Chains A and B, each alone.
Chain A
């Protein structure tokens, strides 16, 4: 690059910094000299370096600093000084301790240090007695080497220490938090030959405009002016635009996909009647079939309002005797009070009986995609909350075979899997029941959905005579695959950078 070109690219801070490098080699010096901020100088030097006008050499220096106790001792004096002064009045160790109010560990250090200096003698006579030696008496009037050392103007570099000071430094460094040693990189800046040539040419700014301004355009003064060239390859500071949360977007897309398959969306309350979460799904009270999912309880409100008696009586007799459904029922006394209790919805299927009892179109396809709540142990496969996609199809001649057809379509649509298989399963409210697994190219067989034909004991009390085929997808697992997330908790990521940098395009 020729000199003219380089000159055209130099901005105002580079122009300020470059001439001063001749006399000043440290960034801290340049900051003062140019009256710029440190970040401005650092950047200018980086740019100059990119243009090969300066050289940067890093030197590693060891620096000594005062630590917490060191600062304290500078003000209060070293403990051994206090100790020495106390021994001139007392010899009983306990009395010395009282007088100096030093900690036991400090006392021990003092004894060690003063013995080394031959300033004290120790007598063990049941208890410790300290006696001042002649040298000790001398030292009462004289500064210790360590004391002299602590008077230095910190921070200091290792290189400036003479041999006496090194000795003091070593002995103080061994003690607790008096001194600390740090290594620091110091950058030394020097000017290159190219830089010198540029300086010779002169850095006059007259020929180049830094910025095109509103004023120039208004007055037309831009005409005939040259503009400083930019280094267009240089990194610019980051900004973050607005983005959707990936899991939220995924859910939205799934919802739209299911709707496009001819389904009507249902919704229900987060805090649900046990009636819909359990009883209307033919899950008997006080029976293990009711505890197949763990369920939260809430403190308040305890109970909600039950629907009309007609439905309640039909559910009651289905549970007790089978009612008109042709079933034996579960054979117990169904309790309306239990059904009126409120729980956080434990599965999306709780919504289905709400809609079935309100009257659905036949034939009809219905679905919901909602948050569910279960008190499971929270780990990489169990989140605090999870989303479930579920629903049903009601129609006169629907069969188990149709259910398998629906599941196959759904699974292929949702996962893109080429291979699927069906396994017998158990749900208290469906019979027959089935689980569907899909083969993932990397992870092998994965359970993706549970389904079945709703039991007549469930649908008939709600006024539905036709078969209802029902299904539910574990949507979180699918999202993890699509978003390449390994920990289910990351679906609700609380890490801003994960969301900012997430590259997954759905």
Chain B
């Protein structure tokens, strides 16, 4: 709660680190929104699934937390695909509010299923990476945060590469730009939606494994992180890949600087305040020029 320089610098460092993970979480959401114009309110709960999965892999099977990526990512991909097939695909042509209500229903189900299965306990892991810190001047950065930050950047770049250079990426971008034209060019749009939903969810698998070593997991963890993803996506412009990344860093900084200078959990008010202002005055986001 002081304004001294070291405190601010420390907050900036931690903010950037967590911001990288926020960015990765949000990129999944913005991908799904950009491609099929669906706002997935269960996004945070998908992340929660990933966190629980990573938690049990680490604690029950003793797997290295970062190796769990190899399991959480494909599992989340198939969770996304499964949920898409069963519930989202049938209502793709329905009005947006129906889709929002549906995904809200899914989030209620997942959140409370977790509550029934795992109780309300807040769980976290201690790994061999815990407690290793690096000092840069007066700023302390933990190894786990550092790995999460660079891991997120790496995952984002990988996804960007997939979207730009592979056939799947071209299908996804074509379907996002103009589904009808894409269909005429021989792109199976439904299948592309399925893939995009799977990939958007798989991002959360990566994010979950990167987050777990320095974060926590509880049934309601998705409530907050899901909302953060919305904030970031709106900030960056819905469907804007690069915007989501910049937005993630901005919100990471806001959260940690807010926490450093404001008492209690008031920094959350700051985050939501920025969100509301952006929705009102610049709904197209910071980077987009066209009107949303």
Q: Do A and B bind each other?
A: no
